[in-house]
Homo-oligomer: A and B are copies of this chain.
């Protein structure tokens, strides 16, 4: 093995609950190698983090690393305490949690009075740092737990978490809608009907049962049930948060496409932003500003 340390390269890790993505970056910040796996925090047994990081270094290089996400939570390796709002990349860089003896620093999450995030803050702030979104804007970041964030002057000044993705997964796997939601979810007539239903016509818990009723009553093709249910959930998520300002949707397809479609269907404007360069830009800046 070549002497990795002499290169000045380093590792940026997005270490979430169920997924892990990692990049080897050059000293100048260029991507040398990338890796993704399902070694999320919940897959790591107690005491298993050091060996798992060693294996990752075996793939990407024996290099110093910075990680963000649930790895810094109370279910992760060590806890990186939440930082208050407003927060920018310099606040994150100044409060890295250093895991002793393994050349790993963990980015803290953010909290306001009623909500928390871990991992998303790097993407959100990185998007602004990279010029992918304006320094003052509203960002929607779809995923298991969708984050709606307000940026002012390139700092996060407020956010709300919506459990949309998790609710869809729970309903798909268990309960009365299980077995009905295995069809393809894409933007189309059924999805748009769901968006309208979820955004306005009925409250979410009633609209969700309506999926089953609509199939039983043959008002909805079973093949369209997943798209309709996804529309109901995304409509209920987007509906209360529509406004005049355009929404920057920080997610790739298919989820970014669905949210953008829902926002437009409800009369808003949206721009899709790629989350990977946003994350890498955030991590580069954190590394540069770290003490």
Contacts and interface: CB of A to CB of B under 8 A. Distances in A.
A167 interface: yes
A79 to B, nearest CB: 10
B171 A209 contact: no
Interface in A207-231: 208-210, 212-214, 216-217, 219
The 5 A-B pairs at the shortest CB distance, nearest first, are namely A161-B209, A170-B170, A162-B205, A163-B205, A116-B213
A162 B236 contact: no
B173 A205 contact: no
A114 B160 contact: no
A115 B209 contact: yes
Contact of A170 (B74, B174, B233): B174
A240 B204 CA distance: 11
20 contacts: A111-B213, A111-B216, A113-B219, A115-B210, A115-B213, A116-B212, A116-B217, A160-B206, A161-B213, A162-B205, A163-B205, A166-B176, A167-B167, A173-B174, A203-B236, A203-B237, A203-B240, A204-B236, A205-B233, A205-B236
A176 B163 CA distance: 9
A230 to B, nearest CB: 13
Nearest to A202: B160
A164 interface: yes
Interface in A124-157: 144-145
Nearest to A161: B209
A169 interface: yes
B206 A204 contact: no
Q: Which of A166, A202, A236 has the most CB of B within 10 A?
A: A166
A224 to B, nearest CB: 16
A114 B240 contact: no
Contacts of A212: 116
Given A163-B176, A205-B233, 6 more contacts: A82-B217, A161-B210, A162-B205, A162-B209, A167-B167, A170-B170
